[in-house]
Homo-oligomer: A and B are copies of this chain.
């Protein structure tokens, strides 16, 4: 598991305003000015948030005339929930392979 990379995506989405942006984009493509209508902050602040989401490959951008069209990136939509499931799963990918868990003296050991 690549903690550094997953951490970057999590940092990118772990702001309440950026979560709302992602929720808006889950409905489909939107341009910056339409997104901005849903917020109280200024246009440069939105531009800052969109750059963070693009740098983290959470959102794709395409310029159409004067407008920037933003879309949730397919790789994010597909792989991010899988990465979260993988993180929480107790399976062969688990870092500790269950060697170090539940080994305190008040817990029962398996016979060796």
Contact = CB atoms under 8 A, between A and B. Distances in A.
Interface residues of A, number: 52
A18 to B, nearest CB: 8
Given A95-B24, A102-B29, A106-B64, A19 B81 contact: no
Nearest to A29: B102
Contacts of A80: 84, 88
Interface of A: 1, 3-4, 6-7, 10-11, 13-17, 19-20, 22-24, 26-31, 34, 37-38, 64-65, 67, 69, 72, 77, 80-81, 84-85, 87-90, 94-98, 100-104, 106-107
Nearest to A12: B14
